């Protein structure tokens, strides 16, 4: 079995100039998706299921993935062995696909299809999450709505109001967690129910800024980021932009307070690493997760400066531990050793990405007004 080099760091430093231009409100790159800074409230949000469709396009776009020209990977060692398997297709038939057996050595070992536009006509999309029930949920922050998309259907409003939700996740009981800009809280609800409860809304007597993204450990520990994107400067009560942890007993604690704009957050497959993107810093930092869920360290894992649209934002991890980081022209793919394999290019500025589809081998990508899907040879962690 082919193995990648490990134990060393690779940092890409392209020409600076793709900064966020961030003012005070969010997109992960500097514009306010709500247009208003959103209202601050500490009360529970309610949600209703509605059925108005949005415009959907089933457009396939020519492959746009590119290998990183600065990568040190030897072209003679980029092939990988794959196995063939028969899987159900979306139309009920079967199709033979290939799945990666060895860790990917290049984007050719990762990408297995064309970029497909699955939903359009939104205001600002974020927080994609695949449900085990077979559908995708994603946030439209300024629309104050969580949308639902399933194969063969148009995306339709699912929860409104959503508290101007950003990142979404499921807890161990299958309940929906939402990082709410408007509610300034981390909320939780049973999928399909109107009412949501507050998991975390303040720290040491002060309101949170505007929770942004979420990662959940297998023991129920919740990690989330809290930049000030969804509020105005005069609304900020904390004097820092933090990364937080909620333990399985519901106790909130601070992991780090030295970020500029903490944004996307993800765990490695073995849950020993916690990755956090700092959008304004244009890098991803890494923390070592302790058995009790505490996270230590926080050094820079990889520098992702770029003059292309977007800075590091939402992230996803595949089964090999590769990190998929939105920003810099699309989705950047980084190995656990910190080597940049290349970029899955997207025509709009990307805000987030998550694995999905029944086999876990699709990457769903939110990009401002649109949502895309691209089939991969690797599955999500």
Give the pTM.
0.79
- 74-83, 120-129, 147-156, 341-350: the lowest-pLDDT one: 74-83
Q: Is 310 exposed, middle or buried (0-12, 13-18, 19+ CB in 10 A)?
A: buried
d(CA 11, CA 305): 9
d(CA 150, CA 170): 17
- 10-14, 136-140, 167-171: the lowest-pLDDT one: 10-14
State mean pLDDT over 302-314: 95
pLDDT at position 203: 98
pLDDT at position 63: 42
d(CA 107, CA 318): 13
Q: For all residues of the chain together, what is the average pLDDT?
A: 82
Q: CA 255, 299, 343 angle in degrees (round to 5)?
A: 110
Per-residue pLDDT for 313 more than 50?
Answer: yes
Question: In a 3-state reduction of DSSP, which class is residue 112?
Answer: coil
- 97-101, 234-238, 351-355: the lowest-pLDDT one: 97-101
Per-residue pLDDT for 151 more than 90?
Answer: yes
What is each CA distance from 367 to 82, 90, 108, 140, in whole angstroms? 31, 24, 23, 11
Q: Helix, strand, coil: what percent of the chain each, to 5?
A: 0, 45, 55
- 2-11, 92-101, 234-243: the lowest-pLDDT one: 2-11
Buried b (16+ CB within 10 A) or exposed e, 150-161: eeeebbbbbbbb
Per-residue pLDDT for 25 more than 70?
Answer: no
Q: Which of 30-34, 48-52, 369-373 has the highest mean pLDDT?
A: 369-373
Which pLDDT band holds residue 123 (cuts at 50, 70, 90)? very high
Query: What is the Cα Rg of the chain in Å?
Result: 19
d(CA 124, CA 131): 21
pLDDT at position 4: 52
Q: CA 15, 18, 378 angle in degrees (round to 5)?
A: 90
Per-residue pLDDT for 126 more than 70?
Answer: yes
Q: Which domains does the chain have, with CATH numbers?
A: 12-37+57-375 (2.120.10.30)
The residue ranking higher by pLDDT, 170 or 195, is 170
Per-residue pLDDT for 61 more than 90?
Answer: no
State mean pLDDT over 104-121: 96
Per-residue pLDDT for 6 more than 50?
Answer: no
Which pLDDT band holds residue 193 (cuts at 50, 70, 90)? confident
pLDDT at position 145: 97
pLDDT at position 100: 58
Among 334, 326, 331, 327, smallest CA distance to 71 is for: 334
pLDDT at position 194: 80
Assess contact for 8 and 337: CB atoms under 8 A: yes
How many CB atoms neighbour CB 237 within 10 A? 15
């Amino acid at each position: 079995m082919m193995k990648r080099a490990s134990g060393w760091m690779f940092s890409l430093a392209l020409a600076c100039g793709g900064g966020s231009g961030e003012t005070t409100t969010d997109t992960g790159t500097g514009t306010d998706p709500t247009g208003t800074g959103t209202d601050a409230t500490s009360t529970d949000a309610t949600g209703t299921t509605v059925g108005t469709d949005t415009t959907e396009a089933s457009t396939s776009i020519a492959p746009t993935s590119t290998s990183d020209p600065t990568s040190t990977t030897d072209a003679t060692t980029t092939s990988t062995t794959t196995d063939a398997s028969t899987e159900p297709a979306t139309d009920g038939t079967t199709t033979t696909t290939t799945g990666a057996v060895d860790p990917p050595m290049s984007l050719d070992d990762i990408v297995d299809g064309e970029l497909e536009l699955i939903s359009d006509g939104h205001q600002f999309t974020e927080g994609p999450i695949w449900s085990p029930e077979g559908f995708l949920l994603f946030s439209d922050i300024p629309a104050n709505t969580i949308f639902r998309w399933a194969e063969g259907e148009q995306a339709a409003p699912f929860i409104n109001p959503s508290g101007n939700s950003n990142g979404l996740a499921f807890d161990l009981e299958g309940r929906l967690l939402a990082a709410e800009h408007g509610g300034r809280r981390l909320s939780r609800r049973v999928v399909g129910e109107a009412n949501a409860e507050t998991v975390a809304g303040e720290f040491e007597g002060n309101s949170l800024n505007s929770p942004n993204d979420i990662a959940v450990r297998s023991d129920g520990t919740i990690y989330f980021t809290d930049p000030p994107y969804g509020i105005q400067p005069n609304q900020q009560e904390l004097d820092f932009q933090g990364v937080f942890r909620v333990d399985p007993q519901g106790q909130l604690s601070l992991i780090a307070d030295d970020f500029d704009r903490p944004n996307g957050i993800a765990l490695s497959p073995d849950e020993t690493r916690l990755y956090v993107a700092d959008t304004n810093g244009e890098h991803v930092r890494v923390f070592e997760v302790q058995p009790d869920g505490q996270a230590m360290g926080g050094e820079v894992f990889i520098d992702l400066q770029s003059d292309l649209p977007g800075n590091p934002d939402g992230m996803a991890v595949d089964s090999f531990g590769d990190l998929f980081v939105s920003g810099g022209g699309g989705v950047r793919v980084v190995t656990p050793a910190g080597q940049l394999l290349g970029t899955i290019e997207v025509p709009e500025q990307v805000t987030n990405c998550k694995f999905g589809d029944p086999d876990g081998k699709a990457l769903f990508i939110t990009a401002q007004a649109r949502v895309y899907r691209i089939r991969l040879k690797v599955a999500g962690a």
